[in-house]
C-alpha cells in the first residue's frame, strides 16, 4: 500500500468517526440527569458517558445486525430466551440445567417448610399457588428444543413435597389446561407471564380450595371486575431479541392485552368492618411479578373469587423467596397477621439458588434447619406406619 493510499484510509476513518460522533450528539438535545448527579461527585460524567454509549450509531447497528444474523441463520436470541415455533418465545430458565440443582432443591423444600412453621406460630394458614411453567402448558410450540431433565417432573415433585408437609396447594395445571382447551389463552405468546384469563383461572381454583379447607371468617364482600382497555403488549421476552429499530419487521409481532380492573361492588360498605381496620387481615399475597404486575389482575381476580380483601406484598423482579423473607420480618406480619397467606411460587424457581435480599443469612439457615428437621420427622413417621400395620 502506497503512502498516499494509507493517508487516504486514515483520513476516511477519521472523517467517519467525526461524522458518527456528531450524529450521536443529536441525542443530547433534551438530555437531563438527576439532581444529585453533579460534576463534583462524578455522577454527571458517568450519566453522559452511559447515554453516549447507548446512543452511538455503530453500537446500535452492530447490535441489530448481529441479532438479526443469530435470529435468521441459527434461530437464536440473546441468553434469556428460547425461540419456539409460531412466533412463541420462552424463558430459558425453563430449559437450562442448573448448577447444584439437587442441593438447591432440598434447601428450598426445607425453607418452604420452615416458612410454614413461622406462619403457623402466628396462626396463619399457608396456601401455596405453585405456577406450572409455560413450557408445560404450551409444549406444542417448543419445536425440537426440550427442557433439561431437572424440569421434567418438577411440578409434580413440588406438589408431592408440600403435600407430605400438609401444606395446602391446589393443582393449577389441570384447570389451566382445561381453560386452554376451552379456547382461552392462559400464557402470553411473547412474555414470561400468564394472561388475565390464566390469572383468573388460578384465582378461582385457589378460592375454591380455601373455601373448602380453610374458610375465611368475617363478612364476605362482593367485588366486580371490569374490562378497561385493550393495549398493545410487547412481551418481556422480546427484549432478548434486540432487532429494533433496524429490523423491527423481523420481530415476533406484539399481541393484544385486555386489561381488567376489580373494584368493590356498588353498595358495599367501606366502614371499619369492610376494611378490617381492627387489624384483622383476611388474606395476604406474596409472590413474583405474576402477582405484583397489575397487567394480569391476579389480585383483583382473587378478591372477586374469595369475596374478600387481599393485601398484596408481592414484588416484581425478586423471585418468590425474597419477598416472603421480607414480609416475615415486617411490622405488617408482626402486628396484623392474615388468616390465610397465599404464596405464589413459579416452579422454575425451585431448583435455583434464590436471592434472599437483605435477610439475615443465619436466620434463613435456621428456617431451613427447622424445615429439614420437620421433613425428617414426617419421613420417619411415614416409613414406620407400614411396620406398625404389619405388627
List the catalytic residues.
191, 193, 289
What is the distance between the alpha carbons of residues 118 and 66, in angstroms, rounded to a whole number?
50
Burial classification of residue 382, based on how many CB atoms lie within 10 Å of its CB (0-12 exposed, 13-18 middle, 19 or more buried): exposed
* 3-state SS assignment for residue 150: helix
Instruction: Sort residue 280 into left (φ over 0), alpha (ψ -120 to 50) or beta.
Output: beta
CA 371 and chain centroid, separation = 25
Peptide bond into 356 cis (omega under 30): no
Write the DSSP symbol of residue 83: E
CB 171 within 8 A of CB 159: yes
Cell numbers for 364:
434463613
Nearest to 285 by CA among 221, 206, 177, 183: 206
Amino acid at each position: 500500500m502506497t503512502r498516499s493510499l494509507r493517508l487516504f484510509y486514515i483520513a476516511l476513518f477519521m472523517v467517519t468517526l467525526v461524522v458518527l460522533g456528531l450524529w450521536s450528539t443529536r441525542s443530547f438535545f433534551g438530555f437531563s440527569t438527576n439532581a444529585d448527579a453533579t460534576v463534583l461527585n462524578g455522577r454527571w460524567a458517568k450519566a453522559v458517558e452511559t447515554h453516549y454509549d447507548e446512543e452511538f450509531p455503530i453500537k446500535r447497528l452492530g447490535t441489530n445486525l448481529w441479532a438479526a444474523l443469530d435470529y435468521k441463520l441459527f434461530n437464536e436470541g440473546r441468553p434469556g430466551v428460547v425461540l419456539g415455533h409460531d412466533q412463541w418465545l420462552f424463558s430459558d430458565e425453563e430449559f437450562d440445567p442448573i448448577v447444584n440443582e439437587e442441593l438447591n432443591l432440598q434447601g428450598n423444600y426445607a425453607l418452604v417448610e420452615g416458612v410454614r412453621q413461622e406462619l403457623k406460630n402466628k396462626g396463619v394458614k399457608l396456601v401455596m399457588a405453585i405456577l406450572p411453567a409455560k413450557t408445560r402448558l404450551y409444549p406444542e410450540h417448543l419445536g425440537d428444543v426440550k427442557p433439561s431433565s431437572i424440569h421434567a417432573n418438577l411440578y409434580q415433585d413440588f406438589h408431592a413435597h408440600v403435600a407430605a408437609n400438609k401444606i395446602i396447594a391446589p393443582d393449577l395445571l389441570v384447570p389451566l389446561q382445561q381453560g386452554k382447551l376451552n379456547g382461552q389463552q392462559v400464557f402470553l405468546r411473547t412474555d414470561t407471564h400468564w394472561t388475565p384469563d390464566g390469572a383468573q383461572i388460578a384465582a378461582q381454583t385457589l378460592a375454591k380450595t380455601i373455601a373448602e379447607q380453610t374458610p375465611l371468617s368475617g363478612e364476605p364482600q362482593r367485588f366486580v371486575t371490569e374490562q378497561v382497555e385493550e393495549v398493545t403488549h410487547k412481551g418481556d421476552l422480546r427484549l432478548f431479541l434486540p432487532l429494533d429499530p433496524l429490523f423491527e419487521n423481523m420481530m415476533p409481532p406484539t399481541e393484544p392485552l385486555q386489561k381488567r380492573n376489580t373494584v368493590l361492588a356498588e353498595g358495599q360498605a367501606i366502614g371499619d368492618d369492610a376494611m378490617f381496620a381492627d387489624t384483622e387481615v383476611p388474606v395476604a399475597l406474596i409472590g413474583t411479578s405474576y402477582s405484583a404486575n397489575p397487567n394480569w389482575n391476579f389480585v383483583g381476580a382473587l378478591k372477586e373469587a374469595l369475596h374478600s380483601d387481599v393485601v398484596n406484598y408481592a414484588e416484581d423482579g425478586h423471585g418468590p423467596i425474597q419477598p416472603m423473607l421480607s414480609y416475615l420480618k415486617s411490622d405488617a406480619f408482626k402486628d396484623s397477621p392474615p388468616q390465610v397467606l397465599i404464596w405464589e411460587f413459579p416452579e422454575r424457581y425451585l431448583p435455583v439458588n434464590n436471592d434472599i435480599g437483605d435477610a439475615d443469612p443465619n436466620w434463613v439457615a435456621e428456617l431451613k434447619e427447622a424445615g429439614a428437621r420437620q421433613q425428617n420427622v414426617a419421613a420417619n413417621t411415614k416409613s414406620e406406619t407400614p411396620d406398625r400395620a404389619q405388627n
